[in-house]
Amino acid sequence: MERSSTIVVKLPEVFGAKAARKLGRELKSKFTNANPHVVLDLSRVKKIDSKGLEALLSCMEEVAKQDGAVQFGRVSPEAATMLELTRMDRLFDKFPSFPVEAPAFTLAPEAVAEESQTTEAKGSVQVPVAA
C-alpha cells in the first residue's frame, strides 16, 4: 500500500501573487504519491491578499484531486483575521485532516518567499519524505 507524504510549508510574511505562484509550482513538483498531506504554516504571515487566498484554494483543489488533505498549522492573528473575513477558515476546517502526531518535514521558508527568479532557480526546497 502506498504511504502518504507530509509536506509542511511555511508561508512567508507577505503572501501575495508571486509567492502564491511559487507555492503552486513547488507543491505540484513535490507530490510524489497519492494521498499527500499538506500542512500550511501561516504563523509568519502578516499580509495575505486575494491572490494568496486563491492560491490556498488551488492548493486545496490540487491536493483533493490526489485524495490528500490540507491542514492549517499555526496561524498568525493577521492571517486568521483575513481567513475569517473571507470565510476561508470554515472551508479549511471542514477539510479532512491528518493526525497531529504524524511526522512532518518542513520546506525551507525561502521556498515560497517573495524572491527573485534567480533564487528560485537554486531550488531551496527539500524533497518531501514519506511518513
Partner 1 sequence: MRIAAIISLPTQQNGEASSDDARLQTTSLSTRSYASLEILGQTLLDRLICNLKDFGIQDCTVISEDANRPFLPSRTAPDGVLVSGWENAVASYVLQGVDYLLLVRLKTYNDIDYGDMIRFHTETKSALTQAHASDGLIDVAVVNTSSLAAADASYWQALSGLQQRRYAFRGYVNRLSELSDFHRLANDGLYGRCNLAPIGEQTREWVWRAQGSEIDDSAVVTGPVFIGTGSRIAACCTISGGVAVERNCEVDCGTVVQDSWITQNTYLGVALDVRRSIVTGNQLFKLDRNVAISIDDDHLIANALKSVSYFSGLSNFLRGTERAA
Enumerate binding residues for partner 1 (CB under 8 A): 47, 49-50, 77-78, 80-82, 84-87
Give whichever of 25 and 51 is closer to partner 1, judged by the CB atom: 51
CB of 58 to partner 1, least distance (A): 17
Give whichever of 56 and 104 is closer to partner 1, judged by the CB atom: 56
Give whichever of 85 and 131 is closer to partner 1, judged by the CB atom: 85
CB of 88 to partner 1, least distance (A): 10
The three-class DSSP label of residue 73 is strand
The C-alpha cell of 115 is what?
Answer: 524572491
Helices (H), the chain: 17-30, 50-65, 77-85, 88-94, 117-121
Give bridge partners of residue 130 from the DSSP assignment.
Answer: 5
Give whichever of 47 and 124 is closer to partner 1, judged by the CB atom: 47
DSSP string, 22-54: HHHHHHHHH--SSS-EEEEEETT-SEE-HHHHH
CB of 62 to partner 1, least distance (A): 23
Instruction: Quote the longest CA-to-CA distance of the chain.
Output: 41
CB of 73 to partner 1, least distance (A): 18
